[in-house]
Amino acid sequence: MMATVALLTVEILRYSVKIGDLVMKQRNSSSRDDAGLGLVIEVAFSAGRHTPSGYKVQWSNDYGTFWASKDLLEVVSENR
């Protein structure tokens, strides 16, 4: 039981992007410069899962508001 709790804690910490965080697209993204900075405005969870399945980000530069996965985002500044 203890190993399961520890594993779940590590899994949650690894996905620590939250509402209010300032993000950018990952360095290897071709649209990183176009998107600029973004603000996480919503976090989605799949049914029965404890880890987020996506993040709704409002991007600067009139780029738009889109859903993105954690592996496409880089946190610039965390919401406290």
Sorted by where each begins, the domain ranges of the chain are 2-77
Domain 2-77 has CATH 3.40.1000: no
Q: Is the separation of the CB atoms in 9 and 32 below 8 Å?
A: no
Q: Which token pair is 31?
A: 């649209």
**Res 3: pLDDT:** 46
Segment 10-33, tens digit of pLDDT: 344 445 789 999 998 887 777 777
What's the pLDDT tens digit per position in 39-58? Answer: 999 999 888 877 888 999 99
Residue 3 vs residues 6, 7, 9, 18: alpha-carbon distances, Å: 5, 6, 10, 25
State the average pLDDT over residues 6-12. Answer: 40
DSSP 19: T
Q: Which residue has the higher pLDDT, 52 or 59?
A: 59
Radius of gyration of the chain (CA): 14
CB 26, CB 40: distance < 8 Å: no
